Structure 1
Amino acid sequence: MREVFYYFLLLFSFSFLQTPAQEEAEALLKWKNSLSSHGLTSWSLNSSSSTTTPCNWTGIRCNKIGRIVGINLAKSGLIGTLYQFTFTIHLTSLFTLNTLGLTLFWGFPTQVSQLRLGAIPSEIGNLLNLRVLCLFNNSLVGPIPYQLSNLRQVSHLHLGGNYLENPDPIRFKSMASLTDLNLHYNLLTLEVPPFIFQCSKLIFLDLSYNNFTSMIPVQLFTSLKVLKFLNLTQNQFEGPIPMEIKNLAELQELKLGENRLNGTIPSEIGLQSNLRILELHENPFHGPIPSSIGSLRMLERLNILKAGLNSSIPYELGFCTNLSFLELSQNNLVGPLPPSMASLTRISELGLSSNQISGEIHPFFLSNWTELISLQLHKNNLSGTIPPEIGSLHKLNFLILFQNQLSGSMPWEIGNILNLYELDLSNNHLTGFIPPSIGNLSRLAKLSLMNNQLSGTLPHEMGKLKRLQFLDLSLNKLHGTLPSSITHLENLNSLYVHYNNFSGNIPKDFGPSSLGSVSFSVNNFTGKLPPQICIGGKLVYLTADQNMFDGSIPPSLKNCTGLAPRRPVIQIR
């Protein structure tokens, strides 16, 4: 949430000895004229212009006596350098300068097509009354100049999205007024710059997407006691999470994902009662999810994806009733879903895939999870039937249950999930027929029912799925003819019906212009392949062997120059 702040409050503020307003305007014009590209057409002092005072210029704000106190040039299309922007003798009443979203390159002026990387000029350390310094998303290189630590009044320092390196650890002093520090997406390495530990007023600290390789320094948790937002994502921090994390009583967001942290997740993490976001994903932890996590009653987002966890899901997780995002996939979690998870009535995204979770998907879960947008339980050992209560998930976009041990029939109520975009029930033990209510899913783009024991005919209502791009019905016991309505699937890219008992002719008008892959193999089809099977020229994969097709090869196949045989492609009797 604090990152959004920088899109609206990204500014310098400084105060100097007064200089005439004319000099202020001329200084800005000199800088504007050095830019390679800009949209500052109102910046002019021509007598014929209606904007003879800089107070009427785009992005300029003046005080009551006509002195420039604010410059906001975000999204003004500027390309160039700050080489001719003076930091000392002009614009001394300036309070705000917003440079976010500009393409600014520090260093010597160059042509747009030959932009060079440059360093932060050390002279910026002369702006002793600066309050907010934001140089986000440029191409700045080199060490962060130690002169920045002269800016004793700076509260917000945002240098993210550059190529900056570690500052001099000895010459870079404490910045006692600093409350927000963002250094993400840079080239910082080895250890966390020690000046950070002396910034006792820090509330927001983002060091993500760098190359730190040390252990997480304990000082982050002992010296920065008012910290609310800590982001160390995607570095190479190693070792355990320090137990001293319990000292951060104000912490609201803790992001430690994509590092090399190991050991167990400390139970002390449950003491952060204000925590709203906890991300520990993609670290080589081991052991259980601590039951103390149930104390995080404010928690809204929990991500422990691919973190080496090997336990059951703690019953206490159900106490985190504010959770809207829960991702525990790709671990070694075992046992059934605890009944307490039915209390997660605000959950909108639930990912538990690629574990060893067993037991049934009980109806009371689905009855309470009505806010779900994504339900991903694939690659587990879930058994039992798909409850008809699945139809109560009216907001659901993704229902992914493949590779479990689910049995029984597809519930008719599945056709009530009108917002469904992807439905994957493949690699289970489902029986019975495909319910005609499937035709209600007008937004469905992907449907995979492969490798089940489904029987019966393909419902005519399948042709109502006008947005369908991927359809896999292979490895079932379906029979009868393909309904003529499949010719209405104009957006279909992939169709797989191999290893069934289909018979009769394939509708002769079948041939979506977007078709790239199709397999009719190992059925009892007769007649001819559709003459327009490759009318769109995008087909790269076609199998039709082990059928009883006759006649000539469709002439439209000459359009498919990307079609290369990888196995017997067509067997015509």
Structure 2
Amino acid sequence: MKSSFFPLIILTAIIFLRRLNPTEAATCHPDDEAGLLAFKSGITRDPSGILTTWKKGTPCCSWNGITCLTGDRVTAISVGGQADVAGSFLSGTLSPSLSKLKHLDGIYFTDLKNITGPFPQFLFQLPQLKYVYIEHNRLSGPLPTNIGVLNQLEAFSLEGNRFTGPIPSSISNLTRLSQLNLGNNLLTGTIPLGIANLKLISSLNFGGNRLSGTIPDIFKSMTNLRFLTLSRNQFSGNLPPSIESLAPILRFLEVGQNNLSGTIPSYLSKFKALDTLDLSRNRYSGIVPKSFANLTKIFNLDLSHNLLTDPFPVLYVKGIESLDLSYNRFHLNTIPKWVTSSPIIFSLKLAKCGIKMSLDDWNPAETYYYDFIDLSENEISGSPARFLNETKYLVEFKAAGNKLRFDMGKLTFAKTLETLDLSRNLVFGKVPATVAGLQKLNLSQNHLCGKLPATKFPASAFAGNDCLCGAPLSPCKV
């Protein structure tokens, strides 16, 4: 699962600032103009023309991405690329001359991808700075040990760069922070105990680093914390007792892909506001607490790749959006009714969950929203044709290692489908030409026959069938 609250906050802030800008045609203060043009000169590539309006002698308050709220002084810079458009990325460095913009309270450099260099020291020379989002660039090196000097900051995100070394202990001095995001870097060491001083924090993200040790018992003072992401690190032990104090308001708890062990704490069932819980890819054992039935607002639950055992509790949710229980030691026998009845589910992953049912008997309440399905390594029989023919936005369907039996030639599927894995089943018939539009395909170890349509897939995608022929397999006999 992926948290999206930080980009959302950035977008909201930028829109807010632009709407409040009363001086779009104001003249440009000489210091601000010099600092901004120095920043532009440090950019070596701007293929989509993000900075084309930044011209000497023109009102800088009307330049793209510039906001002025106090006369002719620049108060915010917002320069962002589009993550899915390669040509929108900038290359270059962050000029230290940005320190000339003494009225700056917000810096938003997001998704520029190719901005390099160390931690920007000019931040220490901006006395009114409150909001810093320098995300998804290529800044590197250590975080400065005196980072705590920036104690006027209220939001601080360096997500998606290449910073290394430890989290400086002085970060505990940033007591005005409501958001701290150091996710997706290369940080090492442990979480400083002084983080407990951040009593106003509502969003804390250290995910996607190389942090280790146990998760410190520091959360009792964080009475506003709603989003906690520590996933994709090397933490060991179990969740600390003070996590329980977050029960009234915590919405996101993501600690997947670590080395956590023991049993799942039963106190998690007290988190009545919890929207997302990710404990995946750890070494949790034992049963899932029966009291999880109290998590009535849970929308996203990922317990996959652990050592959890039966029985799995019945959840009383109005609708679950994504569920992954794959690769534990469950024997569910059927897809749970509380899952089948969900009208909003988009991702269902129950690989190797001991399911022994026929897909002919599966009648989901709604197929419209399904994007991802993984039912691999079970004992599922019947045909997925009815289901696949009804979905409109399905991206991935995996059901390898089952007992599915149907005519492949009669199968149609959504135009959005990218991945199809039906390997190691009892599928028969011909391979339809429509598979050529997929990105990933595995039909190996079935009973398919006939000439293959022209595709880009290797022989391994079709190996082990009864009588398939044609490229990339052997030529068909005349």
Q: Fold match, TM over 0.5?
A: yes
Go from structure 1 to structure 2 and tell me whether the alpha carbon gap of 1:267 and 1:316 turns closer, same or farther (over 3 Å shift): farther
- In structure 2, list runs of 5 or more residues that go unmatched: 19-25, 83-89
CA RMSD across the alignment: 4.2
Task: Give CA-to-partner distance per residue, 1:339-359, whole Å, 9 cap, x none.
Answer: 2x2x23321211111111113
Q: Distance in 2 between matches of 1:54 and 1:257?
A: 45
**1:142 CA drift (Å):** 3.2
Q: Distance in 2 between matches of 1:352 and 1:305?
A: 9
CA contact (8 A) 1:130 1:154 kept: yes
Go from structure 1 to structure 2 and tell me whether the alpha carbon gap of 1:181 and 1:362 turns closer, same or farther (over 3 Å shift): closer
The number of equivalent residue pairs is: 443
CA contact (8 A) 1:178 1:202 kept: yes
Aligned to 2:237: 263
Aligned with 2:7 (options 3, 8, 26): 3
Given the alignment of the two structures, is residue 226 of structure 1 paired with residue 225 of structure 2, yes or no? no
- In structure 1, list runs of 5 or more residues that go unmatched: 13-19, 46-52, 62-67, 71-90, 104-114, 455-472, 552-573
Aligned to 1:31: 37
Go from structure 1 to structure 2 and tell me whether the alpha carbon gap of 1:312 and 1:405 turns closer, same or farther (over 3 Å shift): farther
Out of 207-216 and 325-334, give the one that drifted further. 207-216
Go from structure 1 to structure 2 and tell me whether the alpha carbon gap of 1:322 and 1:387 turns closer, same or farther (over 3 Å shift): farther
Q: Distance in 1 between matches of 2:139 and 2:457?
A: 44
**1:255 CA drift (Å):** 0.6
The one-letter code of the counterpart of 2:68 is V
Q: Distance in 2 between matches of 1:144 and 1:442?
A: 47
Go from structure 1 to structure 2 and tell me whether the alpha carbon gap of 1:124 and 1:329 turns closer, same or farther (over 3 Å shift): same
**1:290 CA drift (Å):** 1.2
**1:227 CA drift (Å):** 0.3
Given the alignment of the two structures, is residue 69 of structure 1 paired with residue 42 of structure 2, yes or no? no
If asked which structure has higher relative contact order (CA below 8 Å, sep 6+), I would say 2
SS in 2 for 1:285: strand
Matches of residues 170-181 of structure 1 in structure 2 within 5 Å? 174-181=149-156
Q: Distance in 2 between matches of 1:173 and 1:363?
A: 50
Q: Distance in 2 between matches of 1:55 and 1:143?
A: 26
Q: Distance in 2 between matches of 1:521 and 1:429?
A: 16
Given the alignment of the two structures, is residue 141 of structure 1 paired with residue 117 of structure 2, yes or no? yes
Out of 272-281 and 2-11, give the one that drifted further. 2-11
SS in 1 for 2:355: strand
Aligned to 1:512: 454
Given the alignment of the two structures, is residue 376 of structure 1 paired with residue 349 of structure 2, yes or no? yes
The one-letter code of the counterpart of 2:118 is G
CA contact (8 A) 2:225 2:250 kept: yes
Aligned to 2:252: 277
The one-letter code of the counterpart of 1:31 is L
Q: Distance in 2 between matches of 1:411 and 1:498?
A: 17
Task: Give CA-to-partner distance per residue, 1:261-297, whole Å, 9 cap, x none.
Answer: 1101234323312112111011101012212112222
Normalization by structure 2: what TM-score? 0.76
Given the alignment of the two structures, is residue 54 of structure 1 paired with residue 59 of structure 2, yes or no? yes
CA contact (8 A) 1:268 1:292 kept: no
The one-letter code of the counterpart of 1:434 is F
Aligned with 2:406 (options 412, 431, 434): 434
Task: Give CA-to-partner distance per residue, 1:88-132, whole Å, 9 cap, x none.
Answer: xxx9841324242379xxxxxxxxxxx9965652x6556554322
The one-letter code of the counterpart of 2:453 is G
**1:306 CA drift (Å):** 0.5
Aligned to 1:154: 129
CA contact (8 A) 1:186 1:209 kept: yes
Q: Distance in 2 between matches of 1:41 and 1:352?
A: 51
Task: Give CA-to-partner distance per residue, 1:488-533, whole Å, 9 cap, x none.
Answer: 7664786747664x78xx36xx63355643747674x6xxx87xx3
**1:26 CA drift (Å):** 11
SS in 1 for 2:363: helix
Aligned to 1:292: 267
CA contact (8 A) 2:399 2:422 kept: yes
Go from structure 1 to structure 2 and tell me whether the alpha carbon gap of 1:283 and 1:176 turns closer, same or farther (over 3 Å shift): same
Q: Percent identity?
A: 21
Aligned with 2:223 (options 249, 252, 265): 249
SS in 1 for 2:80: coil
Which structure dedicates a bigger proportion of its chain to strand? 2
Aligned with 2:145 (options 159, 165, 169): 169
